[in-house]
Chains A and B, each alone.
Chain A
């Protein structure tokens, strides 16, 4: 239902501030979506553009503007701009600055919008409407969208749209982006030629408190009956934020996550390994034995295959993370972690990017834009790469499966391998906290920040969302394997089979790569690593998971280990001390060029990424040295 309404006498008129610059017969070209956090803007954006912008159930998912063309609109091209969530146009944080800049036409590369869709959560209308005066003041044509209409109806709420439109002086649409209802009203607004001069009657309001009061009065005047509180959310919070059960469940969720990587992911991974082995044998059977087969099958295919087999584990991890993000539990986890974060000078707001970093540090570093204090934001950016991202999963899984027995530790709940994996995640988190504590008490010292967080209602994660997000991540992983890892594997395979001596391939020890490995061996020997690991450490500077592809290529190129599985080859090649050192090294080192690039972009300087890389490399080397030393002593 869409309604147009004339200006209402209830508001003060401020003719200087209002009025649009558009010609009344012109059609919209750029339209911005703005609204409070977690009001469903990105869901609506996806619905209108048929794109797959990330959506989740916690405030601060969108931290930069995204553009997309309105779907099914070939004649009149309209670009929609999805903006980060804001309560008003006063920018306290970097993501809020993005929203304000786009709306004021100050964002380089984005045209000033010529209309605005204000998206508010109708179940929380009283508070969300406070954004309206600031947007009206821009003078742009506005459609006020009351999203989540399905929830309002389901829980017995209602609103008189005619009265609301009359009070605000702009058209109002009641929609549900999630269930795709009421969308036609938005299309109608976007395609209609604007009649009249488009001027708004503006409330003259000073500050957010006045806007809140205005919104409250407006809500009353529009006969708004608030929906009944979500009983399900109350019951869930009664359990998940319970003084005893809450932290226990939090711990159980983490344990289940890491154990599932082995319990569910490992058998699938083994199955994929057999499929890839058989496929490789079939594909390369016609080549016989020789230089070309050594390069293509033993080098490139085995290198690629050794990394692709971790796809099931990556999928399992992302399915879990999507459930946590979409259900609304992530925001509760941030509350539980607030006290811990406070002890190191941060707050629960930093915990949300850190939890996202379990998937990948790059979006996590960008998510730190929601943190208002610059120094807190910088500290969060600097510690985010310590969190165990999915790129560490292949090397952790490989080394743990090779060296830790597959036995139960706590019955069916937790095995030794799951515990070891959990230990690696805890180690990364502790390193992050320790670093934050050091930074916040020295170079990034600042006053404490007010921590205020709105809790979203619990929602069932949809299968569609889970599969789309996990599928996207799997595609990124596979694409990475098909680009960086393919290039590295090909170069390594060539270097491992050259120079030819009398037309014959040299042994791996005497190949180019073998010689290079022996040159760097003295530096890494104190860590319990041999030259093969050293080559892996060099290639994995591009991306952590490349080390597994490197092992696949190197062991595949060596006649002595060609017929062994990667796990068996590692067991023969590394002592337990070296294996522990390898895990610790990967927990601390920053081997990811994408992360370094995004840190440079977010901090606008090379100083911080260089500092971060050097600090983490030093910590990785020292940590690995002590891990090797201690485990070797215990083992002896």
Chain B
């Protein structure tokens, strides 16, 4: 469950990083923008922990709010609203939806 910078930026083995230019870390999405999760660049328990909240490949995520006094952002996944720190959002690669 403990994280450090190295773990955050490690790519999942056997799963090359997407090269599509529309694929960006979740933290790059602006308010109101949506994307589909392509890859969660974490391993083991951290990956499982995020999966519990719906951060899995194929999930559609929309940025709905920025929390005052900090970098937290609130995302909508299905019917749930989940708050996540930017350093964790960086590990989730999403395909930007063009609207």
Residues on A with C-beta less than 8 A from B80 are 124, 127, 454
- Count the B residues whose beta carbon is within 8 Å of the partner chain — how many? 38
User: Is the pair A208, B83 in contact by a Cβ cutoff of 8 Å?
Assistant: no
In the bound assembly, the distance between CA atoms of A248 and B85 in angstroms comes to 22
Question: Could you tell me if B78 and A451 are in contact, using CB atoms closer than 8 angstroms?
Answer: no
Contact, CB under 8 Å: B46 / A208? no
Q: Is the CB of A336 within 8 A of B68?
A: yes
Most chain B CB within 10 A, of A130, A212, A372, is at: A212
How far apart sit A446 and B2, CA to CA, in the bound complex (Å)? 8
Whether A241 contacts B65 in the complex (CB less than 8 A), given A127-B77, A212-B56, A339-B71, comes out as: yes
- Name the residue on B nearest A451 (C-beta): B85
B26 to nearest A CB, angstroms? 12
Contacts of A124 in B (CB 8 A): 78-80
CB neighbours (8 Å) of A348 from chain B are 72, 83
Instruction: Report A107-140 CB contacts with B as 1/0, cut-off 8 Å.
Output: 0000000000000000111110010000000000
Q: A209-B51, A454-B80 are in contact. Are A243 and B74 (CB under 8 A)?
A: no
A256 CA / B15 CA spacing, docked (Å): 53
Residue contact B68 to A242, C-beta cutoff 8 Å: yes
A449–B79 CB distance below 8 A: no
Across the interface, do A130 and B2 meet the contact criterion of CB distance under 8 Å? no
**Is A10 on the interface with B (CB-CB < 8 A)?**
no
Option from A87, A208, A340, A449 in Cβ contact (under 8 Å) with B2: A449
Cβ of A338 and Cβ of B72 under 8 Å apart?
A: yes
Interface check A447, CB cutoff 8 A: yes
Q: Is A229's CB within 8 Å of the partner chain B? A: yes
CB < 8 Å: which of B58, B59, B67, B79 contacts A226? B79
- The answer, yes or no, to whether B19 is at the interface (CB within 8 Å) is no
Query: Does B48 interact with chain A (Cβ within 8 Å)?
Result: yes
Q: Which residue from chain B places its CB closest to the CB of A234 in the assembled complex?
A: B64
Partner of B67, one of A127, A130, A338, A452: A338
A226: chain B residues at CB < 8 Å are 78-79
Q: Which residue of A lies closest to B84 (CB)?
A: A452
Partner of A455, one of B56, B70, B83: B83
Determine the residue in chain A with the shortest Cβ distance to B82: A454
Q: Is B4 close to A, CB under 8 A? A: yes
B39 to chain A, nearest CB (A): 12
Asked whether B98 is an interface residue with its Cβ less than 8 Å from the other chain, the reply is no
Annotate A227-264 by CB proximity to B: 1 below 8 A, 0 otherwise: 10100000001000111101100000000000000000
Cβ-defined contact, B85 with A455, below 8 A? no
Q: Please give, as numbers and ranges, the residues of chain B lying within 8 Å of A273 by CB-CB distance.
A: none
Are A452 and B4 in contact, with the CB atoms below 8 A?
no
Q: Is A632's beta carbon under 8 Å from chain B?
A: no
* Binary per-residue interface labels of chain A (431-450) against chain B in the complex, 1 for a CB within 8 Å, 0 otherwise: 00000000000000011111
A227–B71 Cα distance when bound, in Å, is 29
Q: Given that A127-B80, A335-B83, A455-B82 are contacting pairs, would A247 and B68 also be in contact in the complex, using a CB cutoff of 8 Å?
A: yes
Assuming the contacts A209-B57, A450-B88, asked whether A243 and B78 have C-beta atoms less than 8 A apart, the reply is no
B48 touches A227 (CB 8 A): no
Nearest A residue to B2, CB-CB: A447
Q: Give the Cβ gap from A373 to chain B, nearest Cβ, in Å.
A: 6
Nearest-CB residue, chain B, relative to A347: B85
Closest residue on chain A to residue B53 by CB atoms: A452
Question: A335–B72 Cα gap in the complex (Å)?
Answer: 7
A77–B73 Cα gap in the complex (Å)? 48
Measured between beta carbons, the chain A residues less than 8 angstroms from B52 are: 87-88, 130, 208, 212
A453 at the interface (CB under 8 A from B): yes
Q: With a CB–CB cut-off of 8 A, which chain B residues contact A339?
A: 69-72
Note all chain A residues with C-beta closer than 8 A to B48: 90, 207-209
The CA-CA distance from A207 to B85 in the complex, in Å, is: 23
Q: Are A452 and B88 in contact (CB under 8 A)?
A: yes
Q: Are B2 and A373 in contact (CB under 8 A)?
A: yes
- Indicate whether A243 sits within 8 Å of B68 (C-beta atoms), given known contacts A450-B49, A452-B82, A455-B74: yes
Q: How far is the CB of B25 from chain A (nearest CB, A)?
A: 15
Q: Which residues of B contact A126 (CB under 8 A)?
A: 78-79
Chain B residue, CB-CB nearest to A245: B68
Interface residue? A92 (CB, 8 A): yes
Q: Is the CB of A246 within 8 A of B88?
A: no
Smallest CB separation, B48 vs chain A (Å): 5
Complex partner residue of B50 from A123, A246, A372, A452, CB under 8 angstroms: A452
Interface residue? A54 (CB, 8 A) = no
CB distance from A288 to the nearest CB of B (A): 64
13 contacts between A and B (CB under 8 A): A123-B79, A209-B47, A212-B59, A242-B68, A243-B66, A247-B68, A339-B71, A339-B72, A348-B72, A448-B3, A452-B49, A452-B50, A452-B53
A237-B74, A242-B68, A452-B50 given; name 11 further pairs at CB < 8 Å. Answer: A127-B54, A209-B56, A244-B68, A246-B68, A338-B70, A338-B72, A448-B2, A451-B88, A452-B53, A454-B82, A455-B74
Residues of B within 8 A of A (CB): 1-4, 45-54, 56-59, 65-72, 74, 76-85, 88
